[in-house]
């Protein structure tokens, strides 16, 4: 005979699992199979999530109102004292425990666990019905509730009637989103990988005529695309003072400095300015050879 009682949890934080995505394999990678009922023997989808309930000074979870209900079902289902065994499956963890799991991670090392009792809810083939506004509005949007959010769960507690592996089930029915919380990231976050570092010395920048360069992406002051720019010579010659005594036929002639060349961007540049090309590392000769500019 199965012993069962309804259960409404206090507000807690969603710290593990998913309200939307079920598991189809167990911890060893074996397909899950429905063990009883009309679907016995068929593939199963297990929905699992864990809620962290804040400790309020109690030394054992059975000293709480919700915990006393779970304890009562364990006692009723296994009156021969199996519920006293350390191996009894209560589906509750102490978030401050330093005992590592099979992956070598202790509960006290997991985000959201310390200072809480961790309740593990699960059910096969039927995901929870999700609500908000104290149950007045059903949430149908995918992933509306995420790890780190604060929720309440309504369901029931039942003994598993298993002599070899005695314990209880925490079955969900409704979940209510109370408020959003700080997100919990499963695994290594991209920001923690260590991206960034010293750039190579010889960087090959994209050819703007081949890659669809966007001039708006280069932060420079606005300049008209066809503005002519003075191209300073590679080497500025030093002023030369002529010796007029050896210049035949003239004692007043003064040499005139050459006019510096100017470069003008052509319409073929599609609006990219000279400054932007220079920031990409392109020289005047490259601009001219690609038909993007000419000297004037």
Per-residue pLDDT reduced to its tens digit, 236-264: 555 555 554 444 444 455 555 565 678 88
In the predicted model, is pLDDT for residue 148 greater than 60? yes
4-186 is classed CATH 2.40.50.140? yes
Going from the C-alpha of 130 to that of each of 8, 76, 78, 83, 181, the distances in angstroms are: 14, 31, 33, 32, 17
Question: What is the pLDDT, as a whole number, of residue 247?
Answer: 47
Give the angle 265-268-271 at the CA atoms, nearest 5°.
65
Assigned token pair, 46: 């297990």
Question: What is the pLDDT, as a whole number, of residue 83?
Answer: 94
E strand or H helix at 273 = none
| Whole-angstrom distance, CA of residue 254 vs CA of residue 242 | 8
Strand 129-132 to strand 168-179: parallel, antiparallel, or no bridges (unpaired)? parallel
Give mean pLDDT, residues 110-130.
Answer: 96
What rounded mean pLDDT belongs to the chain? 84
pLDDT (tens digit per residue) in 100-111:
988 899 999 999
Assigned token pair, 227: 């503005």
DSSP per position, 158-204: EE---SSS-BEEEEEEEEEEEE-------S--GGGS----PPPSS--
Q: Domain map of the chain by residue range?
A: 4-186, 204-234+260-296
Which of 154, 173, 175 has its CA nearest to residue 8? 154
| Whole-angstrom distance, CA of residue 140 vs CA of residue 135 | 13
Higher pLDDT, 60 or 275: 60
Residues 271 and 215: beta-carbon distance below 8 Å? yes
Question: What is the pLDDT, as a whole number, of residue 287?
Answer: 83
Residue ranges of E strands in the chain: 4-8, 12-17, 46-54, 92-94, 116-124, 129-132, 137-138, 150-159, 168-179, 228-230, 262-265, 293-295
Eight-state DSSP code of residue 71: H
């Amino acid at each position: 005979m199965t012993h069962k009682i309804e259960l409404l949890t206090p507000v807690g934080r969603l710290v593990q699992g998913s309200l939307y995505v079920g598991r189809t394999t167990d911890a060893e990678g074996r397909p899950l199979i429905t063990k009883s009922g009309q679907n016995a023997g068929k593939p199963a989808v297990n929905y699992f999530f864990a809620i962290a309930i804040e400790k309020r000074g109690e030394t054992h979870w059975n000293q709480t109102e919700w915990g006393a209900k779970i304890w009562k079902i364990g006692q009723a289902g296994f009156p021969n004292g199996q519920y006293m065994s350390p191996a009894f499956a209560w589906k509750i963890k102490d978030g401050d425990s330093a005992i590592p799991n099979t992956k070598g991670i202790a509960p006290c090392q997991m985000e959201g666990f310390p200072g809480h009792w961790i309740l593990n809810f699960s059910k096969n083939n039927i995901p929870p019905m999700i609500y908000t506004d104290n149950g007045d509005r059903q949430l149908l949007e995918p992933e509306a509730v995420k790890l780190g959010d604060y929720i309440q769960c309504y369901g029931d507690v039942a003994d598993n009637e298993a002599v070899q592996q005695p314990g209880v089930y925490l079955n969900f029915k409704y979940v209510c989103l109370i408020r959003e919380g700080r997100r919990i990231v499963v695994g290594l976050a991209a920001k923690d990988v260590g991206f960034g570092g010293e750039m190579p010395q010889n960087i090959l920048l994209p050819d703007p005529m081949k890659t669809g360069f966007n001039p708006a992406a280069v932060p420079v002051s606005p300049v008209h695309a066809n503005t002519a720019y003075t191209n300073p010579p590679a080497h500025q010659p030093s002023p030369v003072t002529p010796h007029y005594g050896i210049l035949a036929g003239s004692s007043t002639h003064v040499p005139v400095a050459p006019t510096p060349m100017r470069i003008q961007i052509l319409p073929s540049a599609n609006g990219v300015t000279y400054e932007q090309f220079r920031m990409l590392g392109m020289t005047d000769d490259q601009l001219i050879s690609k038909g993007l500019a000419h000297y004037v």
